[in-house]
Structure 1
C-alpha cells in the first residue's frame, strides 16, 4: 500500500510541481490513513477500501478534535490519492468520489502591530551568545524581506550579497527572486557571519547560512521553537512562523508601497493572493487587535525587489 503512496507523491513532485512542504504533509496524512485502515479495519490492499471506510475515517478525525482545516487537508490528500489510483487503472472505481471535505472559512492572516514587532526583534539582543546573534539576524532578515520561513532556513551563505545588500531566495516550485536587504538587517547578518556563525559551525564546508547547535542547517521546526521562545519572552501570544511575513506585507501597504511590488517581494504568482493584506493593514490601522495603532519600526521593513533576468 505504501508503494502506491510513494508513486503518487512522486507524481505530485514531477507532474504537478507541488512544493516539498505540500508533499511532506501529504505523506504524513496518507501514512496516518494507511495506519487507520490497517489497525481499525484490517485492510491490506487498496481494492478493499470502501466508501464506508472513508466516512468512518473522517468521523474518527473529528472525534479526535482535529481542526476543521486539518480535516479538510487530510480529506483532500485522500481524495487526490484515490483519484490518481483510479486514473492509473489501479482501482476500478474511486471510493472517495462521494466524500466531501469540510468547508473551511477563509480568514485574513494575522499581523502584529509594528511596536510589537520591534519588541520581538529586540529580544535576542538582551544576551550576547553566538545563538542570540544568529537569532537576531534571522528575525531581522525574515521580517525585513517578507520571506517564508522555509525560504529563510534554505538560504546558503552564497545567497547573500552584503556589499549589494541583497539576498537570493528560492520559493515555491523553485522560483528564485532577489530581495534588497535594509541596512539594519544587513548589519545583523554581517555580525552573525563575523562572530556568531564561526562559533557554531563545525564543518568549514557547511553551506547553510543559519546553523543549529550541531553546526548543521537549522530546520523549520527548529526556527519555530526559537520564535516561540522569543515571543513568550516578549509577551506576544498567538504567533505563527508566518506572522512576520504577514506583518511585513501589512506594514508595507500601510506605508504606501505598491501592491504589485509587495507581490513580487513575497513571491506570489497571483496578485489576488496579495490583496488580502489590504484587509490586514486596515485592521491594524483600526487597532482591531486591541493593541492600538502601530508605530513605525525604524530601519526595518524597507526591502525592495531587484528584478532578475
Structure 2
C-alpha cells in the first residue's frame, strides 16, 4: 500500500485523485516508495499553487497555460532544471494514467519539452580515498560501527543503491555462494556477486554485532541502533560522518560508493554492459554516463601498445 503523508490545504477531490493515481500506478508498475513520494510532492505543489488563485482548479481539466504559469513560478523560485524535468515526468505519468482511466482525453503538456540536462558523471572517489573511508569505522567494540563497516564494504563491493542496501533481508544474501539477490527499481531482481572482504565483514557482523542491535525478531540484514530497518537518510549521515573522519573533502552523495564501484571497475577493464547488469540499469543509455572512462582507458591502451601510438 502507498504510504500516506500529511497533506497540504487542497480540496478533497484533488487530494483523492492524487492518491488514486498513486495506488493505481503502484499496483501496475511496482514503483518504489521514493518514486511515489516524488510523484505526490510534484502533483501537490503544482495543485497548491494553482488552487491558491482558483478555488475551482481541478487536476482533470487544467490547461497548458496553467502549467506554464507554474513552470514560471518554479523558475522564479530558483528550482533547478533537473528538478523541473522530474516534475514534468511526474505530470506526464499522471496524465497518462488519467487518459487510461477516461478522466481526460487531452494532454496539455504534449508540446512542453523537458529542459536539456547535461549527462555529467559525479566525480568518483579515488581508490585511495575509498580505502580511507572503508577504514574509518572502529569495529573492535562497537556493534554500530561494525555494522557500518560491513555496509560500506558491501556497498563498494556490489554497487548497490543505498535503498537496496538498507532494505536487504537475510534471505537475499548467500554468503556461501557469495551473491546477493537484489530487488531493484520496479521490483526487478538481479544477482550481484560480493567480494571476499565484504563477505568476511558481513559474517563478522552477523556473529558479533547484529544480535546486539536487534530488539525484535526482524529479518533485515543491517538493523538500525533501534533494532529496525535503517532509513537511507540515516545511512547517508553515517557516510558523511566517516568521510569527515577519514579527512575526505570531496563532494559526496548517497551514491558516492556506487559511482566509485562502477568507475573503478571500468578503470580495471570491465565491460560497460557488465557494469550495466551489476548496477541494475534496464537501459544501457543510463550507464553510458560512464562511457568516457572506458574510452579514456582504451585510448591509453592504444597509445601504450600501438606501434604508432
Above 0.5 in TM-score? yes
Partner residue in 1 for 2:279: 266
Going from structure 1 to structure 2, the CA distance change for 1:250 and 1:26 (only over 3 Å counts) comes to same
Kept in 2: contact 1:151–1:171 (CA 8 A): yes
Bigger shift: 256-265 or 217-226?
A: 256-265
For structure 2, which runs of at least 5 residues remain unmatched after alignment? 1-13, 300-309
Kept in 2: contact 1:109–1:246 (CA 8 A): yes
- Of 245, 250, 255, the match for 1:242: 255
1:33 to 2:46 alignment: yes
Partner residue in 1 for 2:226: 214
1:137 to 2:150 alignment: yes
Aligned Cα RMSD in Å? 2.6
Alpha-carbon displacement from aligned partner over 1:252-290 (angstroms, at most 9, x marks no partner): 12212233332322222333433432324667999xxxx
Kept in 1: contact 2:267–2:293 (CA 8 A): no
For structure 1, which runs of at least 5 residues remain unmatched after alignment? 287-309
1:155 to 2:168 alignment: yes
The SS at the match of 2:150 is: helix
- Of 105, 127, 144, the match for 1:114: 127
Kept in 1: contact 2:166–2:229 (CA 8 A): yes
Kept in 2: contact 1:137–1:185 (CA 8 A): yes
Kept in 1: contact 2:173–2:179 (CA 8 A): yes
Q: TM-score, normalised by structure 2?
A: 0.82
The SS at the match of 1:123 is: coil
Work out the CA distance in 2 between the residues paired with 1:222 and 1:135: 11
Going from structure 1 to structure 2, the CA distance change for 1:271 and 1:72 (only over 3 Å counts) comes to closer
Between the two proteins, the alignment pairs up a number of residues equal to 285
Partner residue in 2 for 1:296: none
1:228 to 2:265 alignment: no
The SS at the match of 2:220 is: coil
Partner residue in 2 for 1:73: 86
